[in-house]
Structure 1
Amino acid sequence: MISPRQTSRPTASRFTRPQLAALFLALATLAAIPILTHPVPPLSDYPNHLARMHVIAVLDRDPDLARFYELDWHIIPNLMMDLVVPWIDRVVDIYTAGQAFTILTFLMIMSGTTVLNRVLFGGWSAWPFIAFPLLYSGAFLLGLMNYLFGIGLALWGLAAWVHWREAWLPLRLVLATAVVGLLYICHLFAVGLYAIGLLGFEIWRLTTSEAPRPWRILDFVLGGLPFLIVPVLLVRSPTWGLATQNEWEPTGKIDGLVTVIQVYSDVVAFGLTAAVAITAGWAARHGLLKLHPSAWIVFAVGAIVYLALPRVLFGSYFADQRLPIALAFMAVAFADLDLHRRWTMRAFCIVLVALLAVRVLEVQVTWRHLTRWTDSFRQSVQMIDRGAKVLVAYADNAQADDVRDLGLSHAACLAMIEKSALVTTAFTVRGKQILQIKPAWRDHADIEDGTPPSESQLVASSLRSVDAVQNYWDDWPSRFDYVYLLYTERGDENPAPAWMTMVYEGARFQLYRVVPTPPG
């Protein structure tokens, strides 16, 4: 039988374990600089997630939040932050807790990549560290924190499967079932990533094993048993109610691949890609770069799944475009670079540090500029009364598709942290989050994760009488205290001066206090 470690590394490697540990720690510290220096990084969903963590942590002792929100605990596939960050918040403030979870996510991904590479090739190597620059990706800019944490856990799970592959079958299946359960808590898509890696690896074993054919087939089939808990958990959770919310789009597949390496600068993305491609091509030509025998099958399974995935799955957007970054980390783990020569070791370290330094510098410089907007937003939040009801809307000419605008999309949720406010864009979708709006206030918020109303819709709503509220922004002058208008330009006029007064203007937003007195 072929061992998963048949491609073991030369024992003459010049990297000792202490050296590898020191290098990993140094690179992790470098990668974490933007996180450590920006308490509220300009990531799309991140402020919304952070606000939810805060509510979970303090709901039982904050009467204003308790007036609006409640917790509906279920085992849904989106819980990891909800279980971890509120506990960290007991020791530090919520912003520091978010930073700690983000850095923990980085460490999970990189250690998982390194350990999986170790069990596949039979020795520790610095090669997996080449994935450090990929920590900052399009998926990270969207703030998909639970999924990203799940990537790291899935890599650890695959490493455990490969390591225990020849162990007693029941033990291996029990361990894999535990991994699937943990991944389910992280994110449903993380379970899919684990399934892709395990299926590809097991197909390779099925076709190369020297065991009798009936036993090979039986062993292959039994490998799928741990995933049977997923449908059981799904049908018992409110997430099952989102099973019909799926949309498939043929466009955007290329964009999903681009988000693996592109963050803010096209020049940096092209430069990093070219540097890695040239280095990998040169190493392959000289026989220094090789793949694990199962790699091509794993990649083929991943490619098929990526092409088949819908854009929206179980109500979650960008379902397909989340996969490439996970496959990129897996690709690094399934490859190996010969570093037992002193000159290759030095050259690799130079390239590695340079690539990560360029990526960190790109993010740090961009965030320093963008967080002037988020800092301004935090200042505006101080103008809001405690326990207020805050409506979020978009300017009519909003251009919110630039990655530099991502930090504003959910920044209003900071009012939940700072002022215990009800914010209409808070993530409170049944089946996606345990945080829910109390029934008395459910018609004041977007509980379907839709698009905020435009300023024209607000104006139109203010001009007509409403017998029954159909949209949560209907009759807003009598039901909300403040309005955040996002993606504005400096000097934009008040769209409804009879109903609201500006109290703060930022670079890309305006905050208005609602004046409920009828005009005239």
Structure 2
Amino acid sequence: MPDGAPGGWRRIASSPAPILAAILASAIPILSIAHPPVLDYPNHLARIWLLSGKVNEPPLSAMYAADWSQASTNIAVDFVASSLARIMPIGALNLLLQLAMFLGPPVAAILLNRALCRTWHIWQAATLFLAWSTTAIAGFLNFQIGLAAALICAALLLPTGVAPARRMFALHLASAALLLLIHPFALLFYAALGSGLALGDRPAMPRSVRDLALPGRKVAVLALACIAPLAALFLFAPTPPGVHANGTSAILWSSPSKMIDPLRIGKALVSPILTYRAMTDILLFLPLAICLGWAVASRRVRFHGGLLIAGIALAALACIAPEEVGDASWIQRRLPPMAFLTFAAAIMPVQRQRVRADIIIAAVITATILLRIAWVERVWTDRQGDFAQLGEAAKRIPTGAAVIVVRLDWTGAAQFPLGRLIAGSPGAPIETGRHAIAPFAVQRGFFIPTHFTVPGQQPLSVRPAWRSRSVYVTSIPYASHLGTRNLKEPYVRNWRADFDYLLVINADMGELPARVISHVTPLTGQGFARLYRIRK
């Protein structure tokens, strides 16, 4: 290494330029691909579009209504985004929301790490590998933005760690109230981050009760501030979250054998790195894991002790958490990204005299992130044909029509197109295109029964005349369910009488049942989406 090279390298490595370049590169798939194959996001975008004013325009005004009183949490994103949609094109808002959903959490983790380290470093760029996590591919818009908000709140409050208890309580309370309005799990994440920061960078084994006094006081103040808005929510909100339509709350646990299944636990813990094909994702992540392991072993990096403990606690909780709590599902997939982001925020580089190894690590991180971006770009590009077919089908649907959306059972197919399944979903892989029709329905002005309208969570409701033809939340029924009694989607029972058109997704994965074909007339589609007119 020539004289002066170490100093020059350190100036580059400690500048924000490499991090900014990595962030801009990570935005390329979002900015270049019109329709990313993600599960719930199109449904969220459609609801925001409706709330921005579309809900007041006929014929949608006869089908849906904005009811902000029925939502008590998960409403901050809807409120801000629907307000922005009134002053900016929906296409621009769509890009803004996608950037927040994918890049928000890792960028916020970088900012928290920057506040802790007081410098920029190449390991911060590695955090962007988490931009495409299972929950991001699942399109959990509010959850993802909530993670970012929790990290930002933790970073902003970091300098106030030595403030008086009353001031800290007020600051924590304000943050907790805001985060609860975004997503309940954002509040949980903030509590975990705050507890880790309260423990400090190098928490020592307490030798007496006095040693626990200061961190214990900080954690107690944080806990009280986080519990207060949560208690107020359940005491005073007219429709608190987690309450089903029948008025009962439910916690769904895995069976004992499933709870201790190492494959289930392993899949849950690695879900933050999984996108569309697990083996590809793991192979891409392997160089980062090897570099990090070597850097820790050679003492080139260490971890913030308190955040390390918080991350381990979140990972452990993910292993024993229930599958569902009330209306909240995918619990075992929501905790691991919190743990990974906490670990990423906890990385603290240790400066060494020799920089050759650091340059090699930087090269590996750069190559890995670029390969990850290229992989996502390729998958998203492959799936644009599906959205084109869906758009063609939507053009054939007249304004004011009632459309029932079903999917074909793909489980018996020998091969499934890349990008149509979420690799890290609980249980069997889940199709990404289930809710892709939702924005088209708002744009064209026709009814679908699958807009998210969960009381307590979404400020959108279906008007009484259409209520029997919809559900609060759905996974989209199979075509084989049409005409049967189905507790989750009861509207399938009278599908011929209540709906005008049948839209089939994953239509290239099989054929409609013969008893269904006899009652419909094909209109469009040879691939992913097929549209049929229902004969009365």
TM range (shorter): 0.7 to 0.9
Aligned to 1:233: 233
Q: How many residues align?
A: 497
Deviation for aligned residue 1:116: 1.7
Aligned to 1:73: 68
Change (3 A) 1:91 1:185: same
Structure 1, 499-508 or 217-226: larger mean CA deviation: 217-226
The one of 450, 453, 457 aligned to 2:481? 457
Q: Which sections of structure 2, spanning at least 5 residues, go unmatched?
A: 1-5, 424-429
Question: Partners of 1:379 and 1:425 in 2: how far apart?
Answer: 20
Contact 2:165–2:221 (Cα < 8 Å) also in 1: no
Question: Partners of 1:491 and 1:318 in 2: how far apart?
Answer: 28
Percent identity reads 23
Question: Partners of 1:42 and 1:143 in 2: how far apart?
Answer: 9
The one of 498, 504, 528 aligned to 1:479? 498
Change (3 A) 1:83 1:336: same
Change (3 A) 1:473 1:305: same
Change (3 A) 1:514 1:91: same
Aligned to 2:130: 134
The residue type paired with residue 87 of structure 1 is: S
Aligned to 2:337: 325
Q: Does 1:407 align with 2:425?
A: no
Deviation for aligned residue 1:213: 5.6
Change (3 A) 1:344 1:392: same
The residue type paired with residue 446 of structure 1 is: V
Change (3 A) 1:267 1:212: closer
Aligned to 1:53: 48
Aligned to 2:33: 38
Aligned to 2:426: none
RMSD between aligned residues: 2.9
Q: Does 1:514 align with 2:509?
A: no
Question: Partners of 2:358 and 2:447 in 1: how far apart?
Answer: 55
Aligned to 2:271: 259
Contact 1:488–1:509 (Cα < 8 Å) also in 2: yes
Q: Please report the TM-score for the alignment, with normalisation by the length of structure 1.
A: 0.87
Aligned to 2:455: 430
Q: Please report the TM-score for the alignment, with normalisation by the length of structure 2.
A: 0.85
Deviation for aligned residue 1:494: 6.9
Aligned to 2:252: 247
Q: Does 1:500 align with 2:500?
A: no
Contact 2:19–2:124 (Cα < 8 Å) also in 1: no
| 1:241 alignment partner, SS class | coil
Aligned to 1:174: 170
The one of 142, 149, 152 aligned to 1:146? 142
Alignment of 1:16-415 (within 5 A): 16=11, 20-59=15-54, 61-74=56-69, 76-203=72-199, 212=210, 215-216=213-214, 217-227=216-226, 228-237=228-237, 238=239, 239-242=241-244, 244-249=249-254, 250=259, 252-338=264-350, 342-396=355-409, 402-403=421-422, 406-415=431-440
Question: Partners of 1:456 and 1:167 in 2: how far apart?
Answer: 62
Question: Partners of 1:69 and 1:417 in 2: how far apart?
Answer: 11
Question: Partners of 2:348 and 2:337 in 1: how far apart?
Answer: 19
Change (3 A) 1:478 1:101: same
| 1:224 alignment partner, SS class | helix
Change (3 A) 1:280 1:491: closer
Q: Which sections of structure 1, spanning at least 5 residues, go unmatched?
A: 1-10, 462-469
Question: Partners of 2:52 and 2:28 in 1: how far apart?
Answer: 27
The residue type paired with residue 488 of structure 1 is: A
Contact 2:105–2:145 (Cα < 8 Å) also in 1: yes
Deviation for aligned residue 1:89: 2.3
Contact 2:243–2:327 (Cα < 8 Å) also in 1: no
Structure 1, 239-248 or 162-171: larger mean CA deviation: 239-248
Question: Partners of 1:198 and 1:127 in 2: how far apart?
Answer: 22
Contact 1:85–1:98 (Cα < 8 Å) also in 2: no
Question: Partners of 2:501 and 2:411 in 1: how far apart?
Answer: 19
Question: Partners of 1:435 and 1:112 in 2: how far apart?
Answer: 30
Deviation for aligned residue 1:93: 3.1
Structure 1, 122-131 or 17-26: larger mean CA deviation: 17-26
Question: Partners of 1:255 and 1:76 in 2: how far apart?
Answer: 32
Contact 1:199–1:298 (Cα < 8 Å) also in 2: yes
Question: Partners of 1:473 and 1:420 in 2: how far apart?
Answer: 21
Question: Partners of 2:397 and 2:338 in 1: how far apart?
Answer: 40
Change (3 A) 1:396 1:116: closer
Question: Partners of 2:204 and 2:122 in 1: how far apart?
Answer: 30
Deviation for aligned residue 1:426: 1.2
